[in-house]
Amino acid sequence: MSDVLSCLGAVALELSPGHRAGRQALDPDTAGALAACVARDLAKLVPAAAGLDFALLAGLFDPVELLRPRWPLHGELERLIAQAPGAGPRVIAFAAHAGELPVTLRPHPDFAEGPLRLLPFVLRGDPATIAVVGEALEASLLDRGMAAADTALLAQDGFAATIEHARYLTVHDLAAMIAMQYEHVGLAPVWPLIETALLAPDQEQWLDAPPEPLARLVGGEAHLALFDDAAWGQGGFAPAGDLDAARLSRAFDRFQARQRQIAALLEAHGIPVTFDYCSAGQDARALLRA
């Protein structure tokens, strides 16, 4: 077992409807001040956290950028903490220089429009303390994890944003929150694929719930059955009933649009997608198992 472990979390900033942050990353001075405030807030909730290294990435990210297999953003933070000079406990902020974060720590502009903005953080230290702190944070942040007023104001001013709520989440809290959001917008069938990729990446998971598209997650990659219209009709994915050709064509178009939506969502979460062509007469499930 490693002699150093980490607890992964995020500062969650909920922006006011219709507003966008004026800045996507903080300068070093502001980032350092914000990291100190966040570390203080967490230590008030769980005093043992004060004995751990704390690192904050002072940029605004979308949930899909954090919720990816192997937690790559947090992993990069861990790597940088391990290389940082000095003895712990340390409070470290990774900030923008000349207006830009390092390439490996930079938010992607394609995901900059969402109302929930996240600043990843890592608590790092000896396994015994991490176990205590991690368990306490998992038990408390959803109920008591609001940021202090001065922390929220500093974030609001630093990012030139109008913030309605500022709170702390573990990555498991964040996953549960996003699962609920996906359920509300009709994407609940896809969540087990994402959850498995996050929490059990070596396991297999299926989306096999017609009329939803057919998908299999294996080896960290999603395989989707790509049907032609005949195979779609024969495979049990077409609507039941006696539909004329025009209605069937529209239904197939909707099926393909749903398939593209699912593929785009999986890829946004860092899950590679492969389409496996399935023609009439082929067993789509056997094809995805091959």
Tell me which fold the domain 188-289 belongs to. Transcription Regulator spoIIAA (3.30.750)
pTM: 0.94
Q: Where are the domains of the chain?
A: 5-184, 188-289
* Better pLDDT: 37 or 280: 37
pLDDT at residue 1 greater than cutoff 70: no
Tens of pLDDT, residue by residue over 200-241, are 999 999 999 999 999 999 999 999 999 998 888 887 887 876
Tens of pLDDT, residue by residue over 81-136, are 988 887 779 999 999 998 889 888 999 999 998 999 999 999 999 999 999 999 99
pLDDT at residue 31 greater than cutoff 80: yes
d(CA 57, CA 72): 13
Q: How confident is the model at residue 2 (pLDDT cuts 50, 70, 90)?
A: low
d(CA 8, CA 123): 7
